[in-house]
Structure 1
Amino acid sequence: MSDRTVSGPSGAAPGGELGARQAALVAALVAGAPLPAGFAPGPVRAARVALLGKRAGEVARHWPLLAAALGDAWWDTFREWAADRPTNGSLRDGWDLARTLRERGTLPPLGAEELAAREAGSRYDGRHPPRPRRLPAVARAGGAVAVQLAGRVRLLRPARR
């Protein structure tokens, strides 16, 4: 094997410019970055909306009470929150959204109960994947109180309605 670097027709390493353009397009589609030159805005906007819809559906599967509690406002709430955030996976996206709504004071009671139960059962710092708690824990969200003991999570008090 040779240690030579393979280069494309222009002498640049293969994938360099193409890779950068692809990364810029992906960022525009999923993280709210500006549209790179050479792409038609209409189709990219349609793809972005479709991807946000798919992402909202995946998050709703992991956070069904939160999605149900928001009802018809789910899509708009999620789209506003996710518009400039790349995904961290559906479980973490829902967790981050629920925490954001709690901070704003707009977390609905069912969502508060779901958040309290998740936080009692797992540790999540917002940067690393959630990890199951080993020790007993109590979590509160929107008036809801959940406890985890021996790996089982129980809702002790429902959220204020």
Structure 2
Amino acid sequence: MTSLAARQAALVAALTSGAPVPPGFDARLVEIARVALLRKRAGEVARQWPELATALGPRWPGAWAGWAATRPTRGSLRDGWDLARDLAGRGALPAAAAAELAAREAAMRYDGRSAPRTRRLPALRRVAGSVALQAGGRVRILRRP
């Protein structure tokens, strides 16, 4: 009673969420495709969050892959935001990336579940020693760590 849709869903889960490889698929080839998709996602997130990727430097691919391996994508902006918040929560967010996260937090509202929305009212956000102020649609970094 396995329909094509169910098999496709199982394959997508294996590729994006770390689910087990469904029967009938070559585990080695699925793993190669999964790693390639993680690399592609890492590049997309690095384009949205350049300071985060640069601050992590050679640790970026490993930090990204370790965080994203069991999380399906929610878009590169949200994926990077969630990773940056996770790193900040663990005290592992590099100082150079703190200003980028503070600026995003000041410019947009994001609750971790729904899509980010632009803020209309002034906002002040602090992240790991960085302070960002948004007023009139412009964001200024007041302090960098």
**What's the TM-score, normalizing by structure 1?**
0.88
Q: Are residues 1:21 and 2:11 paired? A: no
Distance 2:124 2:73 in 1: 28
CA distance in 2, matches of 1:129, 1:33: 25
- The alignment's C-alpha RMSD in Å is 1.0
Return the index of the structure with the highest Cα Rg: 1
The residue correspondences of 1:1-161 to structure 2 (distance < 5 A) are 17-159=3-145
* Aligned residues with identical type, % of pairs: 64
Matched residue of 1:153: which SS? Answer: strand
Offset at residue 94 of structure 1 (A): 0.2
Shift of 1:156: 0.2
AA partner of residue 11 (structure 2): L
Distance 1:21 1:106 in 2: 39
The amino acid that maps onto 1:142 is: A
Letter in 1 for 2:19: A
Report the alpha carbon displacement of residue 102 of structure 1 after superposing the two structures with TM.
0.4
Alignment partners' CA distance in 2, 1:145 and 1:92 = 21
Unaligned runs of 5+ residues in structure 1 are 1-11
SS in 1 for 2:124: strand
User: Greater RCO between the two (CA within 8 Å, min separation 6)?
Assistant: 2
Distance 1:95 1:150 in 2: 23
* Code of the aligned partner of 2:9: A
Q: Supply the distance in 2 between the matched residues of 1:151 and 1:123 (Cα, whole angstroms).
A: 13
Query: Is there any run of 5+ residues in structure 2 with no aligned partner, and where?
Result: none
Counterpart for residue 5 of structure 1: none
Deviation at 1:87, TM superposition (A): 0.4
CA distance in 1: counterparts of 2:24 and 2:119, whole angstroms: 49
- The ranges of structure 1 where at least 4 consecutive aligned residues each deviate by more than 2 angstroms after the TM superposition are none
Equivalent residue for 1:8?
Answer: none
